[in-house]
Amino acid sequence: MTDIKTIMTLAPVIPVLNYKSAEEAVAVSKALYDNGLKVLEITLRHPSALESISAVAKALPDAVVGAGTVLTPELAKQAKDAGAVFGVSPGLTETLADAVKALGFDFLPGVATLSEAMQAREWGFSELKFFPAEVAGGVPFLKAVGSVLPDLTFCPTGGVTEASAPTYLALDNVAVVGGSWLTPRGQDGKIDPAAVGALAKSAVAKLGR
Ligand code: 3PG
């Protein structure tokens, strides 16, 4: 089992992936993986999401496939059973915190305020998603948190781009950023794997690791 702390060091960015089918998930994930992005967060926002997680985990056995938008204990269990090795949520409740600990499911819970960060810390989570990063205070917020809660490490997500990522990654309390900018949909509604490959290559070259 790879823990969240380690997972956060494996790439400079965790792509947030809103796939619409398992077929799309495998083709696009392969483009990300082949171009250096090994950690993939497949969100549970589409009926095919669990199938996508299983398909990508099978097609790319060396990728670190996680589930995003894990809102409930039921979704956490389903994601783990589907083959996700970690989960991400936009926020955290006591029920969800207890459930992921009981499941032994490595988890990156979302926080947007100091009180939420302190609560998550009390429940045993030191690695947190800062969401929605750009509207919840961005880099200045994380600098302020770092001065009072220096033991917490963040993955800022929400409005982060390749252009803004370096400023986040330069902070001592940021290990990785998350974002959906790597998988844009064209006018036809499709994600072009070749375009994704180019975006992934650029992100790895500019953001390092
Ligand atoms: C998420 O689920 O983490 C966000 O929707 C990703 O944010 P972005 O689309 O602004 O990158």
The amino acid occupying position 58 is K
Ligand 1 within 6 A of CB of 16: yes
User: Would you please indicate which residues are annotated as catalytic (active-site) residues?
Assistant: 41, 129
Question: Which DSSP letter does residue 144 get?
Answer: H
Burial bucket for residue 84 (CB in 10 Å: 0-12, 13-18, 19+): buried
Q: Best mutation site among 71, 75, 135, 157 for ligand 1, i.e. most ligand atoms within 8 A of its Cβ?
A: 157
The pLDDT value recorded for residue 2 is 60
The pLDDT value recorded for residue 208 is 82
Across 2-16, average pLDDT: 94
Atom of ligand 1 nearest to the CA of 110: 3
Across 177-199, average pLDDT: 97
Give ipTM to 2 decimals. 0.88
Full set of structural domains in the chain with CATH: 4-202 (3.20.20.70)
Ligand 1 within 6 A of CB of 179: yes
